[in-house]
């Protein structure tokens, strides 16, 4: 066994995207996401597995992992009409067999990614400690959190970078894509809020049953 740092990054709202735009639309989005992620890889980081919209990245050290995660979030943020990304980072000893990795660190990384909100990067205390002096990055202490199949609470930190993810955009409630309100193809008022949509099709779906898309 030897220590590595895992990064798991997946698209927030991928199921909603697939239901709204179909398999072809989802496939195009995932292919573009893979391209963005590959360009964002720091030295010492590589994609070792992809399942649907979920990417598993192995990094040589914590700084390479953080640099990669921040770069992926930034790339997704600047992509027009694109979902947000959720990222988890954890380190620990692993076993590698035939290109596949096994160990508690991988399970914890998946739990962190699942817990993250759209455009949020969560990491463990050891990763945060190793990256305290990185320029342009700070860490917010979220305290000790419990995760399924993880026996003890885990100290979790949110990774804060200079750029605010998706600043000035709105979230399409149907497909969960981020859209610019000034250029959105459609908008509809509901209650006290105006909702913006990536396409007239999403606006029509929302109009037929708005309550079903606003369930938290």
- What digits encode the pLDDT tens for the residues 108-139? 999 999 999 988 999 999 999 999 999 889 99
Same domain assignment for residues 44 and 126? yes
Same domain assignment for residues 177 and 87? no
pLDDT at 85 over 60: yes
State the pairing for strand pair 170-171/193-197: unpaired
Per-residue tokens: 206: 């929302």
Mean pLDDT on 156-160: 96
pLDDT at 78 over 80: yes
- How high is the pLDDT of residue 215? 62
Same domain assignment for residues 188 and 81? no
Per-residue tokens: 104: 């508690």
- The kind and range of the H/E element at 124 are strand 121-124
Question: What φ, ψ does residue 89 adopt, rounded to 5°?
Answer: -135, 130
Same domain assignment for residues 115 and 137? yes
List the one residue out of 120, 122, 89, 118 whose CA is nearest residue 106.
89
Same domain assignment for residues 34 and 79? yes
Question: What is the percent of the chain where pLDDT is above 90?
Answer: 50
List the one residue out of 10, 8, 16 whose CA is nearest residue 177.
16
- Calpha distance 180→98 (Å, rounded): 44
Mean pLDDT on 26-47: 94
- How high is the pLDDT of residue 201? 84
Mean pLDDT on 146-175: 84
pLDDT at 171 over 90: no
pLDDT at 166 over 70: no
pLDDT at 30 over 60: yes
pLDDT at 196 over 80: yes
Q: How buried is 31 (Cβ within 10 angstroms: 0-12 exposed, 13-18 middle, 19+ buried)? A: exposed
Same domain assignment for residues 184 and 83? no
| CB contact at 8 A, 58 and 89 | no
Question: What is the percent of the chain where pLDDT is above 70?
Answer: 95
| CB contact at 8 A, 59 and 4 | yes
- Calpha distance 102→205 (Å, rounded): 42
**Where in the sequence is the domain holding 198, given as residue range(s)?**
170-213
Q: What is the CB neighbour count within 10 angstroms for residue 4?
A: 21
pLDDT at 1 over 70: no
- Write out pLDDT tens, residues 44-70: 999 999 998 999 999 999 999 999 999
Same domain assignment for residues 113 and 31? yes
- How high is the pLDDT of residue 167? 66
List the one residue out of 93, 92, 167, 168 whose CA is nearest residue 125.
92
Q: What is the pTM of this model?
A: 0.83
Mean pLDDT on 93-109: 84
Among 118-132, 139-153, 186-200, the minimum mean pLDDT is found in: 186-200
pLDDT at 23 over 80: yes
Same domain assignment for residues 151 and 199? no
CA terminus-to-terminus distance, the chain: 41
Same domain assignment for residues 188 and 88? no
Q: Number of structural domains, the chain?
A: 2
Same domain assignment for residues 96 and 150? yes
């Amino acid at each position: 066994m030897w220590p590595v740092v895992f990064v798991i990054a997946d698209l927030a709202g991928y199921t909603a995207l697939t239901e709204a735009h179909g398999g072809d639309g989802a496939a195009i989005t995932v292919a573009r996401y893979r391209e963005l992620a590959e360009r964002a890889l720091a030295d010492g980081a590589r994609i070792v597995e992809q399942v649907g919209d979920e990417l598993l990245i192995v990094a040589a050290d914590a700084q390479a992992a953080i640099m990669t995660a921040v770069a992926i979030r930034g790339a997704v943020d600047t992509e027009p009409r694109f979902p947000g990304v959720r990222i988890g980072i954890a380190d620990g000893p692993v076993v590698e067999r035939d290109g596949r990795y096994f160990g508690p660190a991988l399970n914890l990384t998946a739990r962190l990614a699942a817990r993250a909100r759209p455009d949020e990067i969560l990491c463990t205390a050891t990763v945060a400690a190793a990256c305290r002096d990185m320029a342009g990055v700070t860490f917010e202490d979220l305290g000790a959190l419990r995760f399924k199949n993880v026996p003890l609470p885990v100290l979790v930190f949110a990774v804060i970078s200079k750029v605010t993810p998706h600043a000035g955009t709105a979230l399409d409630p149907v497909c969960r894509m981020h859209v610019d309100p000034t250029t959105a193809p459609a908008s509809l008022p509901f209650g006290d809020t105006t909702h913006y949509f990536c396409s007239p099709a999403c606006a029509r779906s929302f109009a037929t049953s708005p309550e079903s898309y606003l369930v938290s």
